[in-house]
Amino acid sequence: MTRSRLITGSPLKMWLAYLGMVGVAVGLFLWINFQGKELVDPKIVLEGQNGRTTQEINHLLHTLLALASVIVTARAVGSIFKFLGQPPVIGEVIGGILLGPTFLGRHLPEASAFLFPLSTLPFLAVIAQLGVIFYMFVVGLELDLKLLRKSGHATLAISHGSILFPFLLGAYFALKHYSVLSAPDVPFTNFALFLGVSMSVTAFPVLARILTDRKIHRSRMGTVALTCAAIDDVTAWCLLAVVVSIVHSKLGGAVWTIVLTFAYIAAMFFIGGPLIRRLVPWLEKFDQMTEGGIAIFFVGLLLSALATEAIGIHAIFGAFLLGAVTPHDSRVAKELTNRIEDLVRIMFLPAFFAYTGMRTQIGLLTTSADWELCGLIILVATVGKFGGTFVSALFSGLNWRDSAALGVLMNTRGLVELIVLNIGLDMHVITPRLFAMLVMMALVTTFMTTPLLHLLTRNHPWAQEDAH
């Protein structure tokens, strides 16, 4: 009944009306199209306005396709390494290398040119940098400053021993191989400082994930390892900030940059920290964090990153500092971590790995001498980090087995090392050839952690001990 009342008139009249409407529409479009042929090329009109040219649309299409390829590859290779009992981050880094010139560019150059044309690399680089900035903010949120304050002198000695010894070994290695590995216009001081820092890094987030996966993060040794790694992380970032400031400036400028860096760190801890600690209880009055609250932290994150970039050190330091001064055990920190972490780990970090992989040219290591140098770098990095931790732990009262396990854990480098290496490559302190060697070092030292730790902790009492 309702349908018959609404639809009236003969079917023939309805079809004629419909065809007439379509015909008028087609005719009007043809007239508009005819008139439009007399206009200026739309690309010229769009330039400098809010529209997008065909080239810009192609950049977007290629960037979206590249991101999709990166995420699928990272998840697939990461899952394989997780199945093998290794941290997925190793597989994700290797997935990025496979997408770069080492594998895809060499064996399937047409596919590489289609998926990752050179014109899209700047866009991928920006996405990768944003990913690292948000990642370092999450690392800062997960950093327990109370743990650092409660750490005893022994833990502090172990941590700094694990930094100083590999730093000095790295600087000595730079002295012996400066003429072979350094670019011609890089001063020895910059080269030695950066190589020392790259040998000293421990990947706190990867180490924490390994301990959690093995369910020993609450054991006595797990607590010591996490505390040492946290101290190591903070010290290494401060040291890197100083090195970056020296590289970016001449002597007078470097001193001013270092002064500004420590002034900003002090301002964040003594001004920014108290302000955030007052803000957090107000935000926790709500059942869950509001969009306004998240926006406050995001704006703060961007401004803090902007401040450290303007000072002359990398934007990641500002992001890390904001996370570090936010109360670690607050609901706000946990909600921010939960909301950001998945997006960062699934999309942004794989983009960073792919970007790193595209800059890693294993093909540059062509001779046996190159591979011998690469092996020597791995050996120096391992001996420095393991040896520094092992000796410091022995002098602090730990037995040889616990000291060895701690040394193996502190030798984990992973993602943090890749961030440091990309900074060095961007500043032209290291060459693409040395970059490839150091990426190999980061992968090997992270890969060896799990099997060696398994051998050392098998049937060990503290492997099942709970820290409670």
What pLDDT, in 10s, does the model give residues 326-363?
988 888 988 998 888 888 888 888 888 888 888 888 88
Higher pLDDT, 258 or 298: 298
User: What is the reported pLDDT for 312?
Assistant: 74
User: What is the reported pLDDT for 38?
Assistant: 60
Higher pLDDT, 338 or 234: 338
Place of tokens 């950001």: 340
Q: Which whole number is the average pLDDT over 48-68?
A: 69
CA distance 114 to 116: 6
Does 467 reside within a domain?
no
Does 446 reside within a domain?
yes
Enclosing domain of residue 358? 111-459
Is the model's pLDDT at 3 over the cut of 50?
Answer: no
Please list, in sequence order, all residues whose beta carbon lies within 8 angstroms of the beta carbon of residue 239, skipping any fewer than 6 positions away. Answer: 163, 167, 197, 200
Does 279 reside within a domain?
yes
Highest mean pLDDT (candidates 248-252, 376-380, 396-400): 376-380
Average pLDDT in the chain:
80
User: pLDDT grade, residue 370 (50/70/90)?
Assistant: very high
pTM to 2 decimal places = 0.75
| Contact assessment for residue 306 and residue 315, using Cβ atoms and an 8 Å cutoff | yes
Does 66 reside within a domain?
no
Phi and psi at residue 87, in whole multiples of 5°? -60, 130
Place of tokens 């996490």: 226
Which CATH number belongs to the domain containing residue 145 in this structure?
A: 1.20.1530.20
| Contact assessment for residue 222 and residue 250, using Cβ atoms and an 8 Å cutoff | no
User: pLDDT grade, residue 114 (50/70/90)?
Assistant: confident
Highest mean pLDDT (candidates 35-39, 66-70, 143-147): 66-70
Does 16 reside within a domain?
no
| Count of helix runs (H) and strand runs (E) in the chain | 24, 0
Is the model's pLDDT at 255 over the cut of 90?
Answer: no
3-state helix, strand, coil in the chain (%, to 5): 80, 0, 20
Higher pLDDT, 228 or 199: 199
Q: pLDDT digits over 158-208, tens only?
A: 888 888 888 898 889 988 888 888 888 888 888 888 898 899 888 776 777
User: pLDDT grade, residue 415 (50/70/90)?
Assistant: confident
Does 22 reside within a domain?
no
User: What is the reported pLDDT for 150?
Assistant: 63
10 Å CB burial of residue 448 (0-12, 13-18, 19+) is middle
Highest mean pLDDT (candidates 120-124, 159-163, 203-207, 374-378): 374-378
Higher pLDDT, 141 or 26: 141
Is the model's pLDDT at 461 over the cut of 90?
Answer: no
| Number of domains observed in the structure of the chain | 1
Report CA Rg, the chain. Answer: 28
Higher pLDDT, 239 or 21: 239
Please list, in sequence order, all residues whose beta carbon lies within 8 angstroms of the beta carbon of residue 75, skipping any fewer than 6 positions away. Answer: 346, 350
User: pLDDT grade, residue 372 (50/70/90)?
Assistant: very high
Does 98 reside within a domain?
no
CA distance 274 to 326: 9
CA distance 170 to 167: 5
Q: Which whole number is the average pLDDT over 380-408?
A: 88
Among 154, 224, 208, smallest CA distance to 465 is for 224
Percent of the chain whose pLDDT exceeds 70: 81
Does 259 reside within a domain?
yes
User: What is the reported pLDDT for 30?
Assistant: 67
User: What is the reported pLDDT for 218?
Assistant: 62
